[in-house]
Structures are given as C-alpha cells and as structure tokens.
Amino acid sequence: MKLLTQAANRKEDDGVRDLIHETFISLWFANYKSFGPKKKSSAALVTPLRDSNTSVGDTARQMVEVVAISSSPKHLTYLVQEMINGKGDNCEEKKASQRKVDKVAAEQYCASIVACLIEQLLVFEEQRDSYSQAEAGSYLVSLLTTLGVFSESSPLLLKNHYDSLLHYLKADNGVAMKCESLVVSHVCKILSHVSNCLNDTDILRLGRGDISQDLVKITYKFGVSASGAAVETLAKLATHSHSDENSPLMKALVKLAKVFYTHLQKMKDASNDFSKTKERERNNVHRALSVLGCICRHHETENATVLDDDLESFIAVAPSDLTWDTLPSACFALFREYLGKIDAGTRCKAIRAMAGIFSAHPRILLDFQQKGVLEEIMSDSAHPTLQLESLQCLREILTTEELRVESGEANRQMESKDGVTTSKRISGDQDGDASLIGACCIQNAPRLFEMTSSLYPMVRLHALLLIDTLLRQGLLNPMEVVRYIKLFHRNYVFQTTRISHKSCCKYDYVL
C-alpha cells in the first residue's frame, strides 16, 4: 500500500512512479493484453484463457486484501484509471491504434475482475454463517470498496452488476452500525457513478422500485457521510436526462426536501442558542441543515432566473410553496437565519449547508462575498470553529469543482444543456460561473495568509491546505505566498511571546 501511496504522490520522482506502476502492472495486470482482440481461432485460446481467469480471480482477491488494510482506496483508483486510460506502460513510440487496442484490452480485463468480485460477493452471502459479525462487516466493506474503485474509474464496468447491490440499501445486512454505514455509503457511491450510464429503461425501472424509499430512510438513520451519499444518488437519478419532474424519484427528492425544510422553519424561532436545547432537538436541526445542504449541492435547473436576484430578495417561502426551482433561494434565506444563531455548532452547520448552494450556484457565493459576510466569518472576531469550517468549505468547493472538470462531468452537463450553442462551446463561456469560486478565494487571499499565523493549530493547518489547493490550481502567485507567509509568521512569533498560554488556548477544547 505504501508503494501505491508513493505512486499517487504528485511530488514523487517520475522514475520512481514509473517503477512502482511497472511493479503493480506485472503483479496485477500482466495478462491484460490477452483480453484484447485476437486473430487466432477460439479453439487455440482455450488453455490460455482458463489460466487467465485463474489469474484474474487471484488479482481480485489480492485487491480486496490491499483495500482491507489501507486507509483510503484512492491510490488503487489512480492505478486502475491509468490502466483504463491506456497508460499502462511507458512506451512513447507506441502508435495510437495500438494504444486503443490496449485500452480495450484493459477495460475487458477490469470487467473480468469486477465479475470475479461480484462472484466473491455472492459466495460470501452463501457462506455468511461461517463469519462472525465483525469479520462479515469488514469483508463486506472491503469488497464494496474495491467495487467502488472500478465504478469510479469506469462506471460502465458496473452497469450490468448494480442490480446485485441494491438490496444492501435496505441497511439490514446483519453487521455493526459502523460497518452498516460504510456499506450503504459505498453502494450509494457506486450507483451515483453508474447513473451516468443508465438509459431510460433503467431509470424507469428504478423509479418503480423501492430504491427511493431506501435512500430516504438512509438520510434519517445514518450520519453525514452516508446520508450525503444517499442524497447524491437520489438527486442524480431524479435529475437524470431520462427522468422528469413527475417521476417517483423526483417526487421523493422534493418530498424529502420539504420534510427537512418544514422542520427548520418550525425550529428557527424556537431558540437563539441551540447549545442550551435538548440534544435530540439540536441533532435534528443539524441533520436537517446537512441534508438540505446536500440536496442543494446537487440542484440543477434550467429555470435559474430566481437566482439572479440580490441575496436580500431571497425569502423563506412556506413549505407548501416550495418547488424544485425555488429550493436554493428559499433554503439560502433559511440558512442565513441559522447563521445568525449564537452557538457555534449551529452556525457551522449553516455554513456547511450554504457551501452546498455555493457549489451548485457560484453566483450566490459571489454576492455573499461582496456583502462582506464571508469576510466576517473568517475574521479574528469569529469563533475559531467557524473560521475552521469556512476554510474547509472553501477548499471542498474548489476540489469538488476540480474533480467535476477532470472527470468529464462538466462536459456532460454542458452538452446536455439545450441553450448552449456551438459558438459558446468554442468560446468557453458556457461554464464561466466555475471561475467565480476561485475569484472569491483570491479576494480573501490576504486574510488566508494571515490565518496561517493563527493561534489555533487546526486553523493554521487548513489555511495552508487551502493555499496549497489554490497554488496547485494556479490561482495564486507562489512568490507572493512566500512573502506574505514570512511576514505573518514573524508577527505570529512576536505575538505569541506576549500573549499568555491561557489566552492562547481559550478555544483549544473545540479545535
């Protein structure tokens, strides 16, 4: 696993990365070219193919074992993506036609690995009684995580197998709650990736099934990660090009939004400090903010005229008047109510919910920044947890947008819009709002540099992580970053010699 980590490191030497890739290609993908187009007769390929299938099964088991002991599957995902994209070797003189043949072979080989993983899943279910609850949960999570690697690398690989995973969304898998959360989260992510490959028949069939009810129940039962994955899956299925506003999936999504919206409307005047309320009431408010924020994050509509108005014109409409088109503006007005509360926990949840709206509609973020609200919550007068949350949200928005562009999702969304003409596609103005996110961060760059000398370690860390992201995306001048950080670091050393330890650690318990 350490080798995969080094291979995914952008700063690693190219020679070292090439050697690591060659090692894993020899270990796991040595026979992938045997799955490409062949000119020999099928009779002559019986023995090699049987040997290859045996190797594929061993490879699938090894991958599951590696995932089981690793902290994150992203390094394995990077390796599989390299193979599927035709970059499995370093031969620069290879012709484009041969690279295309190798790419097809790699996809077929990965499809065979996926088939072996599905077979392992079926065998596991047949032999479940021989596992303890802890062993069953760990093995099931590892299998689904490995399947998630291939769904993220190439969603088509799971298109013919996702039906075998739907029953896991019932959250009745006989494992511990922690593993149950991971199981439903991984299955939701797989369906989210595969949704781009589904046709009208698939969407119609899923709408008639129980998947919408299962996803809704997950949002009520599990934590932020699982509920967020469930909302993303439901939103992608409901807003699919083959779906419409009258489909059961869209109705389930709008109904879910209305339920949590109604609860927030009811509780907004119940208290000005939710830290003094009952834990259950506070948790319900925080869950409602999180789920509504996730729904807004995946909000797509062609009728966005309501979002062109000033932020002050956004009003929290009655729950009965809430529609899919008015959802972002109404939710934003409601989130601002909770941002004005006293307790830092509720304010952080409100900022996190707003980040979902900012990701889907960057123009709202621009207006939010111009009103000075973003500067206020990042200032020294704000609670340290609020400063920390704002840094994390900005970085998450930037990385989400970067992933959307690199994965091709931005192009798919652009091509699906009827109003985008050929001239706009050539000029590149069709996705101009994406640059607003980076522009807002650049406007607050001086404050980011200042936050690197904050008295609170986590604030300093995430300020540096955000600056690192901006540098990697080419939005900041490296020399300017070095100059400002040196300046604020000297000020930080001077201040810490004058401020007592007690005052420095005033908020350490929340950081």
pTM for this entry? 0.83
Average pLDDT over residues 365-390: 89
pLDDT digit string, tens, across residues 157-177 = 999 999 999 999 998 988 999
Number of residues in the chain: 511
Say what the pLDDT of residue 505 is.
40
Report CA torsion sign: 13, 14, 16, 20: positive
pLDDT surpasses 90 at 23: no
Longest Cα separation, the chain: 84
Please tell me the least confidently modeled range out of 43-47, 267-271, 279-283. 43-47
φ/ψ of 87, rounded to 5, equals -115, 35
Q: How far apart are CA 363 and CA 342, in angstroms?
A: 27
Place of tokens 């001239």: 423
Q: How far apart are CA 414 and CA 96, in angstroms?
A: 28
Please tell me the least confidently modeled range out of 265-274, 391-400, 407-416. 407-416
pLDDT surpasses 60 at 44: no
Average pLDDT over residues 175-203: 93
Q: How far apart are CA 73 and CA 182, in angstroms?
A: 13
Residue, of 113 and 311, whose pLDDT is higher = 113
pLDDT surpasses 60 at 511: no
Say what the pLDDT of residue 92 is.
52
pLDDT digit string, tens, across residues 450-486 = 888 888 999 989 998 998 888 888 888 888 777 776 7
- How does residue 429 score in pLDDT terms, banded at 50, 70 and 90? very low
Say what the pLDDT of residue 93 is.
52
Q: How far apart are CA 94 and CA 423, in angstroms?
A: 35
pLDDT digit string, tens, across residues 8-19 = 666 667 777 777
Please tell me the least confidently modeled range out of 45-59, 100-114, 146-160, 232-246. 45-59
Average pLDDT over residues 502-510: 38
Q: How far apart are CA 103 and CA 346, in angstroms?
A: 49
Q: How far apart are CA 245 and CA 300, in angstroms?
A: 12
pLDDT surpasses 50 at 25: yes
pLDDT digit string, tens, across residues 225-241 = 999 999 999 999 999 88
Average pLDDT over residues 429-457: 78
- How does residue 419 score in pLDDT terms, banded at 50, 70 and 90? low
pLDDT digit string, tens, across residues 124-170 = 999 988 989 999 999 999 999 999 999 998 999 999 999 999 999 99
- How does residue 40 score in pLDDT terms, banded at 50, 70 and 90? very low
Say what the pLDDT of residue 413 is.
59
If you write DSSP's letter for every residue of 422-436 in order, what string do you get? HHHHHHTGGGTTHHH
Q: How far apart are CA 409 and CA 97, in angstroms?
A: 26
- How does residue 96 score in pLDDT terms, banded at 50, 70 and 90? low
